Every structure is written in structure tokens, then in C-alpha cells.
Amino acid sequence: MTIRRLVRTDYELQDAADEFGISREDAARDLALLSVIASLSERFGDRIVLKGGAALRFAHGASRTSRDADATVTQPAGAPIPADEVISAIRNARMGQFLRINVPSAPRTDNRYSLDVDRVEFTCAGIEGTLDVELSYREEIQLEPARPTIGTPYFEPFEVRVMRPVEMAAEKLRTLYQRQRGTDLADCVALERLASGDLHLLPGARRAKFRLVRDGVGPNHLHERVDGLADRYEADVRPVDPEAPDYATARDAANRLIRAAWQ
């Protein structure tokens, strides 16, 4: 497939920022990340299932910008994509002098579990930043992905495979156990809402996702992790998402997901 780019000048970028009511800097980051996602989609098609913050922003309209293109590789799972092919696809996200992409010569991680290409530098309309790309080979997708169209107003709408919110919620609970980051807790508010019709599927998805952590992890461990984010939540979340829910709202959403996941 060929994905047509609609924003190719400084003026068009400003128009897109005005349309969304976001800063020019956020629009440049969105454009750079979408361009990488579009290039990966063109190159690898249905092998890529988008998830995480980029999926929440571009497929579900989340207010927080993302700096990561996170995806699970399927068809088949556990079959790595050669690093040079991924790096080539990321480089092809450039748009002449308007969007320049500088990719590290080698990934940070390249093994049977994941491919991580960190600190992909971009310059768009004079705005500089970095992005990370992670392709996970650890596990198969548990539920049939959604197929939304994303991209507007930067691209003509293009279809991507996106992990269903209830499966993303299961992965998010695992992430809350594995690391302490306030943005993960904030994401639980959107994920609870988006997964509301599928919460009966959460226990099965949770069991599959938690095979990658030690035996015996249960709700109390997760509740402790959530409580442990109280002091750092605002510092983690507010700089990247001024519209993020407060800690109490995010805590309550996460705790409801935890209870639903262990029913």
C-alpha cells in the first residue's frame, strides 16, 4: 500500500496544530511518529499490531502525546524481523527536508524477545525530538486486533491493526507490576473506559500476559504498586499531559481493572 502524506510544509503543520488545538511542537511529534508507523505498516503490513500510547492517541484520541511506536509482531509470533529491515523502514519515514529522520546504526536490543531502536532523532519544521521503536516478539496476540483508520489530518486515513483495549489493559497491569511510571497509571482511565464492553475477557488476557512474570503475582502486589506511585504521579504525568486525570481518579480506575482481572 502507498500512504499519501497531506502535511508537507510548515504552514500545513501549523494548520494541523490549529485543527487539533495543540502546540506546533506536539503536532511535529505526532507527524514524526505517524510517519514512522505508516512506514512500518507499508513495509510489514499485518505482521505489526500497534499498542501502547501511540495506539491510544492515534486510534482512540488520547490527549497525551507519545514518543514510542510500540507493536507486537505476529504471523507468526516469536519470529523476529531482521533489524536492518526495521531500521530501513524507519529511515524511509523521512519527508525530504521537511521531516528528517536520523536512525542509530544499530538497535539497542535485538534478541528473540524484542527489537528496540531507541533515540530515533527527528527534525520537523525546525522542531527537534526523539522517538523510540519497540517490536515485541515475546507472545502471541490473544484477541483479534481492531482495524481502525488513523492518520488524519497528517495523512490520508490508513488502516492499521491495533491491539484491543481489553488486551492493552492486561498488558498495562503487567507493566504496572514491572515498573513505576505515573503515565502507565494515567492510561488506566482511558483503558477502563475503552474496554468496558469486554471486561469479561480481562481475566483470560491477564493470565496470558502474566506468564512472563514470576509465579504468585496477585492483586495485592498490583495495589501496592499503584499506591507506590502516589508521590511521583504528578511529576511523571503533568509535563507530558496537562489534561491527565488526577492521581485519585487514575488509582481508582487501575484498582477496578485489577479487581476485574482477577475475577
pLDDT in tens, 65-102: 999 999 999 977 778 999 999 999 999 999 999 999 99
**Please, what are the domains in the chain?**
10-163 (3.10.450.620), 166-261 (no CATH)
pLDDT in tens, 177-221: 999 999 999 999 999 999 999 999 999 999 999 998 988 999 999
Whether the CB-CB separation of 167 and 144 falls below 8 Å is answered with: no
- Mean predicted confidence (pLDDT) in 154-174: 97
Cβ contacts of 82 within 8 Å, gap of 6 or more: none
Whether the CB-CB separation of 183 and 240 falls below 8 Å is answered with: yes
pLDDT in tens, 102-113: 999 999 999 999
Give the chain's end-to-end CA distance (angstroms, integer): 43
Determine the pLDDT at residue 106: 94
- Mean predicted confidence (pLDDT) in 2-26: 92
Determine the pLDDT at residue 1: 59
Q: Rounded to 5 degrees, what are φ and ψ at 136?
A: -100, 135
Q: Give me the half-sphere count of Cα atoms (radius 13 Å) on the Cβ side of residue 98.
A: 15
- Mean predicted confidence (pLDDT) in 138-162: 94
138 class by beta-carbon count within 10 Å (0-12 exposed, 13-18 middle, 19+ buried) = middle
**Cα separation, 260 vs 257, whole angstroms:** 5
Determine the pLDDT at residue 44: 94
Determine the pLDDT at residue 3: 86
Residue 30: pLDDT above 90?
yes
Residue type present at position 235: A
Cβ contacts of 140 within 8 Å, gap of 6 or more: 74, 77, 78
**Where do we find the cell 468496558?**
196
DSSP-assigned states of every residue in 198-253: GGGGHHHHHHHHGGGS-TT--HHHHHHHHHHTTTTHHHHHTTT-TTPPPHHHHHHH
Nearest one of 6, 40, 31, 7 to 160, comparing CA atoms: 40
Residue 71's H or E segment, with its range, is strand 68-73
What is the rounded average pLDDT for all residues in the chain?
95
Residue 222: pLDDT above 80?
yes
Q: What is the pTM of this model?
A: 0.93
CA angle 65, 239, 171 (to 5 degrees): 55
**Cα separation, 60 vs 52, whole angstroms:** 11
Segment among 17-26, 36-45, 73-82, 130-139 with least mean pLDDT: 73-82
Buried b (16+ CB within 10 A) or exposed e, 66-95: bebbbbbbbeeeeeebebeebbebbebbbb
pLDDT in tens, 246-262: 999 999 999 999 999 99
